[in-house]
Structure 1
Amino acid sequence: MMKINVIFYSLFGHNYKMAEAVAEGAREVEGAEVGLYQVQETFTPEILEKMGATESKKMFSHIPVATVDNLEEADAIIFGTPTRFGMMIAQMRAFLDRTGGIWVKGALIGKVGSVFTSSATQHGGQESTILNFHTTLLHHGMIIVGVPYSEERQSILTEITGGSPYGASTIAGNGPDTRQPSENELGIARFQGKHVAEITKKLVG
């Protein structure tokens, strides 16, 4: 058995849907035990209400909040974060900033790490967010896995879509009632989850 944890932050549900697809793909690999977790919210209920996110948050309120233990226990961790100015969102940064203790122990060295994301616009920093995220994973000594071009859905030209060699992504727009992840984007997310699980299986086997 191998343990694969998908840890995401979502405000309006876009990254939650992508996280579910990633987890679905990972479960396709025999021997994969997959956990799904969300990072702790830092916005107050009042701010969430003003942003129009209260109802969206209910969609995944049943998902447990991630702890540092969920990093240590896993053989692979797939992170999902929205883009904020080309970098990960503050809630994810706050979660990772609590990992100094396991960094000192080298607890994540040799584990597989992978990232998916979303942005409000087509060129809103999807690739830079994932690449910036990789810096933290490398400091932890993780083995980074992306999405190779054998996943041909990232190369289509017939529609606007997220997805790159760095990881799955979706174009989400601004707010709760915007574009939802397309089937092409969800397909890339499933591929990423399965690919990470296959690589992890080879490493732990």
Structure 2
Amino acid sequence: MTQPYVLVLYYSRTGQTAEMARQIARGVARVDGIEARLRTVPTVSPDTEASLKQVPAEGAPYCSKDDLKNCAGLAMGSPTRFGNMAAPLKHFLDTTGDLWLNGALIGKPAGAFTSTGSLHGGQESTLLTMMVPLLHHGMVLCGVPYTEQALNDTDAGGTPYGPSHWAGTGAPQPLTDAEKTICQTLGQRLATLALKLRT
């Protein structure tokens, strides 16, 4: 039997959301008996056709529907685009109607994470709107509780709805220690819940 995994699925344009994904995977790694599986999605052209080759030149592999179907839990991340997830991630989710029809994700824990250029650039609205398709799939939503002190200490990103990062509008700012901690907390929490909810 293969080891259960938390799928850390993301789209990243400048690398900030990808770094958040790696921090979430570090949190998953704190829990015995489960692992993290990092996956991304290709960009899409204006006519919403996939515009990249099937294998990315660097970074995480592209996600397959089997990666999503077989996960024990899901962390889904995207940069903010006008208060919502980026089109490439939405395009991938729009192909998962068969998983919805078969109830493949029902009862599995899921959380969201995001990165924005401006401090008040729609972090919370992006996280909340990312949760809507997860609810349609019957997933159990997981946020970050205020028992995580970094939520009170952060002077950048971080919300109870999920990890966030303030990347800035110039040269991208690295994740702060508090932002990293919040990411790791979500990963650890998802992994723990995934094992408890797994049937």
- Work out whether the TM-score is over 0.5: yes
1:181-192 mapped onto 2 (5 Å cutoff): 181-192=175-186
Identity, in percent, stands at: 39
Structure 2 stretches of 5 or more lacking a match?
Answer: 47-55
Matched residue SS, 2:185: helix
Give 1:190 shift. Answer: 0.6
| Separation of aligned partners in 2, 1:62 and 1:86 | 26
String of CA shifts for 1:111-146, please: whole Å, max 9, x gaps: 111101011111111011011111110000000001
Asked whether the equivalents of residues 8 and 81 of structure 1 are also in contact (C-alpha less than 8 Å), the reply is: yes
| Separation of aligned partners in 2, 1:62 and 1:11 | 12
Q: Which residue of 2 aligns with 1:200?
A: 194
1:139-150 mapped onto 2 (5 Å cutoff): 139-150=136-147
| Separation of aligned partners in 2, 1:161 and 1:151 | 15
Asked whether the equivalents of residues 111 and 143 of structure 2 are also in contact (C-alpha less than 8 Å), the reply is: yes
| Separation of aligned partners in 1, 2:145 and 2:59 | 33
Asked whether the equivalents of residues 16 and 172 of structure 2 are also in contact (C-alpha less than 8 Å), the reply is: no
Could you tell me which amino acid in structure 1 is paired with residue 121 of structure 2? G
1:127-146 mapped onto 2 (5 Å cutoff): 127-146=124-143
| Separation of aligned partners in 2, 1:204 and 1:101 | 21
Find runs of 4+ consecutive structure 1 residues off by over 2 angstroms.
none
Q: Which residue of 1 aligns with 2:79?
A: 82
| Separation of aligned partners in 1, 2:104 and 2:71 | 10
Asked whether the equivalents of residues 122 and 162 of structure 1 are also in contact (C-alpha less than 8 Å), the reply is: yes
Give 1:174 shift. Answer: 3.2
Q: Which residue of 1 aligns with 2:15?
A: 13
| Separation of aligned partners in 2, 1:202 and 1:194 | 13
1:102-181 mapped onto 2 (5 Å cutoff): 102-156=99-153, 160-174=155-169, 177-181=171-175
| Separation of aligned partners in 2, 1:78 and 1:105 | 21
Asked whether the equivalents of residues 22 and 190 of structure 1 are also in contact (C-alpha less than 8 Å), the reply is: yes
Asked whether the equivalents of residues 2 and 204 of structure 1 are also in contact (C-alpha less than 8 Å), the reply is: no
Structure 1 stretches of 5 or more lacking a match?
Answer: 45-56
Larger helix proportion, structure 1 or 2? Answer: 1
1:33-112 mapped onto 2 (5 Å cutoff): 33-42=35-44, 61-112=58-109
Asked whether the equivalents of residues 144 and 159 of structure 2 are also in contact (C-alpha less than 8 Å), the reply is: yes
TM-score by length of 2: 0.89
- How many residues are paired up? 188
Alignment root-mean-square deviation, CA: 1.7
String of CA shifts for 1:43-101, please: whole Å, max 9, x gaps: 59xxxxxxxxxxxx97xx13100111111010101001111111111111001001011
